[in-house]
Amino acid sequence: MKPDLPGYDEALERVLAGVPAPVPETVDLDVARGRVLLESIKADRDQPPFDRSAMDGFAVRSDEVAPDRTFAVTGTLSAGAPQADMSSRPMTVMRIATGCPVPRGADAVIPREQAVTSEDQGTEKVRFDVAEAGSRRNVHPRASDATAGQVVVETGTRLAPQHLAVAATMGRVRLAVAPRPHVKLLTSGDEVRPSSTSSDRLEDHQIRNSNGPMLRAWFDALGHPLDLHEHVPDDEAATLAAARAALERSDLVVTVGGVSAGHRDLLPWAWSELGLETIVHGVAIQPGKPILVATGDGRMVVGLPGNPVSALVTAHLFLWPALRKRSGLDPTLPWRPRPLAEATTANPKRQLFRCARDREDGAAAAIAWHGSGDLVHTRDAEGLVRLPVTEGAVAAGTMVPYLPFVG
């Protein structure tokens, strides 16, 4: 282990510093779901813009209501009707529907279930089975949700249906959002065969491609479907051609394998040939030490190690926050403090990240480590624990950061 390798926090800081800020694009409201808002939405008027009835019933003056009083019903207000005026007509009420403006002069609504109606010489009368009405009863006051000019959806919000409803309420039918990053995935390795290869056509030294399906599903779970997945042989010309083509057609290129120090690990050379600047190559962590990150011309390359557990872990540790920032989101990952369920071996020279289960009792149970090629043990994992850099074992009950897996 080289002593000058950065730790995780330093390496992540370098990576995020290399992620360009998204340039806003404007899209129609009906295609904005899932995008990240880059310009806040403000209320264009008070919400609600009038004192609104919250019930079907009768608009009343609260100070007139008593059990022994009878009122004349002078009209009916339906949805869409303009505000009526009761201010000069004492001892009268108006029928009102939910959502209607409360008439001027009225300050409460009594539900129809608490009203007893009758007729007297052609005039509808009503009395109420309530001791008193109470000012503002069943009235949704003007500006109680938002005042004109108030921010109602913050910049950096990933837009869900309820946010789009708020935007529509404010008349915002075009929204400034972060563009969706165009992402290309390149897997590599002559030993790697298509996932569909049958056992009788698979040599003992060959393995099926697990990283491709894993990362495609991972990106899908984040709402960023891959534009392309291509497998590249361990050949200089083929590697350089694939790397060049991926850069030309994407904002983010993710590679798996080919980033270590072997004579057939060609991707660091390819990115250098194409003029990219390497900002991280090797981090003092396990798994994932060989990870490579390079940038150039507004694009970023994240080279994940080829061992599948390393690829899974470094995708969460580096690719996820980089993708969040590129998409206009806060890059901070949702680490949660959890007590370790059992004593777990640490390392004094590099930080260990271990697959773990989030137990019902709130503890994180690290899964036995069998190396970064042991994909099978991840089947029970729900996230990662981050162990401190220390000699010996980390005691059971020690609070450690826990990161839930994507998907």
**Distances in whole angstroms, Cα of residue 150 to Cα of each of 46, 144, 226:** 9, 12, 37
Given 282, 298, 326, the domain boundary residue is 326
Asked if the model's pLDDT at residue 208 lies above 90, the reply is no
CB < 8 Å & 24+ apart, contacts of 140-146: 140/48, 140/51, 140/52, 140/53, 140/54, 141/48, 141/51, 142/46, 142/48, 142/49, 142/50, 142/51, 142/52, 143/46, 143/47, 143/48, 144/48, 145/47, 145/48, 146/43, 146/46, 146/47
Q: Measured between alpha carbons, how far is 5 from 156 in angstroms, rounded to an integer?
A: 33
Q: What average pLDDT does range 192-203 have in this prediction?
A: 83
Residue 193 confidence (pLDDT):
86
Q: Measured between alpha carbons, how far is 168 from 60 in angstroms, rounded to an integer?
A: 32
Looking at the fold, whether 131 and 212 belong to one and the same domain comes out as no
Q: Is residue 356 part of a domain?
A: yes
> What would the pLDDT profile of 84-97 be if each residue is shown by its tens digit?
999 999 999 999 99
Domain that holds residue 355: 336-404
Asked if the model's pLDDT at residue 205 lies above 70, the reply is yes
Given 293, 326, 359, the domain boundary residue is 326
Strand partners, 192: 207
CATH number at residue 39: 3.90.105
> What would the pLDDT profile of 121-168 be if each residue is shown by its tens digit?
888 999 999 988 899 999 999 999 999 999 999 999 999 999 999 999
- 241 CB neighbour count, 10 Å cutoff: 13
Q: Measured between alpha carbons, how far is 146 from 191 in angstroms, rounded to an integer?
A: 61
Residue 29 confidence (pLDDT):
98
Q: Is residue 126 part of a domain?
A: yes
Q: Is residue 107 part of a domain?
A: yes
CB 195 within 8 A of CB 215: no
Looking at the fold, whether 185 and 235 belong to one and the same domain comes out as yes
Q: Is residue 398 part of a domain?
A: yes
Range with the lowest mean pLDDT among 51-65, 224-238, 338-352?
224-238
Looking at the fold, whether 184 and 287 belong to one and the same domain comes out as yes
Q: What average pLDDT does range 355-374 have in this prediction?
A: 94
Looking at the fold, whether 103 and 228 belong to one and the same domain comes out as no
Looking at the fold, whether 260 and 369 belong to one and the same domain comes out as no
Q: Is residue 194 part of a domain?
A: yes
Looking at the fold, whether 271 and 204 belong to one and the same domain comes out as yes
Looking at the fold, whether 184 and 173 belong to one and the same domain comes out as no
Asked if the model's pLDDT at residue 116 lies above 50, the reply is yes
Q: Residue 328 burial (CB < 10 Å; 0-12/13-18/19+)?
A: buried
Given 326, 348, 373, the domain boundary residue is 326
Q: Is residue 331 part of a domain?
A: no
State the average pLDDT for the chain. 94
Residue 1 confidence (pLDDT):
43
Q: How many domains does the chain have?
A: 4
DSSP element (H, E) containing 270: helix 267-273
CATH number at residue 392: 2.40.340.10
Strand partners, 175: 27
**Residue 202 pLDDT level (bands cut at 50, 70, 90):** confident
Looking at the fold, whether 164 and 198 belong to one and the same domain comes out as no
The percent helix, strand, coil of the chain (3-state, each to 5) is 20, 30, 50
Q: Measured between alpha carbons, how far is 22 from 371 in angstroms, rounded to an integer?
A: 37
Token readout for 197 is 């290869």
Residue 284 confidence (pLDDT):
97
Q: Is residue 2 part of a domain?
A: no
Q: Measured between alpha carbons, how far is 290 from 283 in angstroms, rounded to an integer?
A: 7
Asked if the model's pLDDT at residue 347 lies above 60, the reply is yes
Q: What average pLDDT does range 30-54 have in this prediction?
A: 97
Q: Is residue 3 part of a domain?
A: no
CATH number at residue 89: 2.170.190.11
Q: Measured between alpha carbons, how far is 339 from 362 in angstroms, rounded to an integer?
A: 7
Residue 3 confidence (pLDDT):
52
Percent of the chain with pLDDT over 90: 84
> What would the pLDDT profile of 310-346 be if each residue is shown by its tens digit?
999 999 999 999 999 999 999 999 999 999 999 999 9
CB 309 within 8 A of CB 287: yes
Looking at the fold, whether 41 and 167 belong to one and the same domain comes out as yes
Looking at the fold, whether 12 and 92 belong to one and the same domain comes out as no
Looking at the fold, whether 315 and 185 belong to one and the same domain comes out as yes
**What is the bridge-based pairing of β-strands 207-208 and 192-193?**
parallel
Looking at the fold, whether 87 and 150 belong to one and the same domain comes out as no
- Considering the entire predicted model, what is its pTM? 0.85
